[in-house]
Amino acid sequence: GAVVSQHPSWVICKSGTSVKIECRSLDFQATTMFWYRQFPKQSLMLMATSNEGSKATYEQGVEKDKFLINHASLTLSTLTVTSAHPEDSSFYICSARSILAGEVYEQYFGPGTRLTVT
Amino acid sequence: GQNIDQPTEMTATEGAIVQINCTYQTSGFNGLFWYQQHAGEAPTFLSYNVLDGLEEKGRFSSFLSRSKGYSYLLLKELQMKDSASYLCAVMDSNYQLIWGAGTKLIIKP
């Protein structure tokens, strides 16, 4: 099956610094990637959708200047949390979808990145 | 608006059967997914239904009724490792996944 990786798997940073999370599709080309955030005991919250080569579409309430998303290639998307605050501490999960592969109906999830801001 | 409803928490006994229900109201329908998520981990795909009926995959089965906006996930021969959250998600007309809040399943010996 399709594999999506995320790096790092966990990160601790100081308040005010920026953190970059990478999401890679290892064995397929991801035309669309999704970034989710999940707080403890809550469901997934979609933050943004990004298509390769174009600007990300952010969900209502998500600050695009704080959560910078880049999808420069068909196998890599990055999420940068700028000027991180303790309330940004969460579990960030990316997923990838490939229409080229014909499997338009399934999203493949990365293992997630646990961010702790101190 | 779009809405996915599923119970918050369920408890079952090891070896038994449990059914987790999901009802939905969405803008269009391109399939319904069930995912399993263990604490601290990303969701893993369990099943996909786009036509009415029952899809069986080992100990897990998923049912869909599009006219009723209803699905269930049936887990048989429950094992302790099945303790997890089960997420129902519907793909809408824009091929976006609309997520339910998840059902936390607790398995007791």
Cβ separation B43–A91 shorter than 8 A: no
Report the pLDDT value the prediction gives residue A28, as an integer from 0 to 100: 83
Amino acid at position B35, single letter: Y
How far is residue A97's CA from residue B30's CA, in Å, rounded to a whole number? 14
Q: What is the pLDDT of residues A56-95, one digit of tens each?
A: 999 999 999 999 999 888 899 999 999 999 999 999 999 9
Backbone angles phi, psi at A86, to 5 degrees: -55, -30
Amino acid at position A17, single letter: T
Question: Nearest CA to A33 among A87, A88, A72?
Answer: A72
Q: How far apart are the first and last CA of chain B?
A: 40
Minimum Cα–Cα distance from A6: chain B residue: B42
Minimum Cα–Cα distance from B37: chain A residue: A43
How far is residue B67's CA from residue B39's CA, in Å, rounded to a whole number? 33
Which regions in chain B score pLDDT beneath 70? Answer: none
Tell me if chain A has a CB within 8 Å of the CB of B23.
no
Token representation of residue B49: 């239904």
Q: How far apart are the first and last CA of chain A?
A: 37
